[in-house]
Amino acid sequence: METRSLWEHTLTFFPQFLATLTERAPSDSTVAVIGASDGKFVLPLAAAGYRVLAIERDPLALHGGEVVLPGDVSGHVMGLIDRLKLEALHDRVRIVEEDFLQTNADQEKCDAVWTSCSWHYSANHHRPLAEFVTRMQSFVRPGGLFGAEFMMPTEPRHAGIEHYTSPDKLSRHFNDQWHVLLTLRTNEFIERAHVGQLQDHTHRMGLLLAAHAPK
Residue 151's nearest CA partner among 84, 210, 87, 201 is 201
Collapsed DSSP state (helix, strand, coil) of residue 98: coil
pLDDT at 19: 97
Query: What are the Cα distances from residue 182, in Å, to 89, 96, 201?
Result: 30, 29, 27
Helix (H) or strand (E) holding 130: helix 129-138
- One CATH from 3.40.50.800, 3.40.640.10, 3.40.50.720, 3.40.50.150 for 14-212: 3.40.50.150
Cα–Cα distance for residue pair 85/108, rounded to 1 Å: 24
Task: Give the pLDDT of residue 68.
Answer: 82
pLDDT by residue, tens only, the chain of 215 residues: 788 898 888 999 999 999 999 999 998 899 999 999 999 999 999 999 999 999 999 999 999 999 887 777 788 889 999 999 999 999 999 999 998 888 887 777 999 999 999 998 877 788 899 999 999 999 999 999 999 999 999 999 888 899 999 999 999 999 999 999 999 999 999 988 777 777 888 999 999 999 999 97
Residues linked to residue 211 through DSSP beta bridges, in sequence order: 145, 179
Q: What is the pLDDT of residue 64?
A: 94
Question: For residue 65, which of 43, 80, 86 has the smallest C-alpha distance?
Answer: 80
Q: pTM of the prediction?
A: 0.94
Maximum separation of any 2 CA atoms in the chain, in Å: 53
170-175, long-range: CB < 8 A, 24+ apart? 170/133, 170/206, 170/208, 171/208, 173/129, 173/130, 173/133, 173/134, 174/137, 174/210
pLDDT at 198: 75
- Cα 212 from Cα 199, distance rounded (Å): 39
| Sequence ranges of the domains in the chain | 14-212
Position 143 scores a pLDDT of: 96
pLDDT, residue 201, reads 81
Measured from the Cβ of residue 12, the count of other Cβ atoms closer than 10 Å reads 16
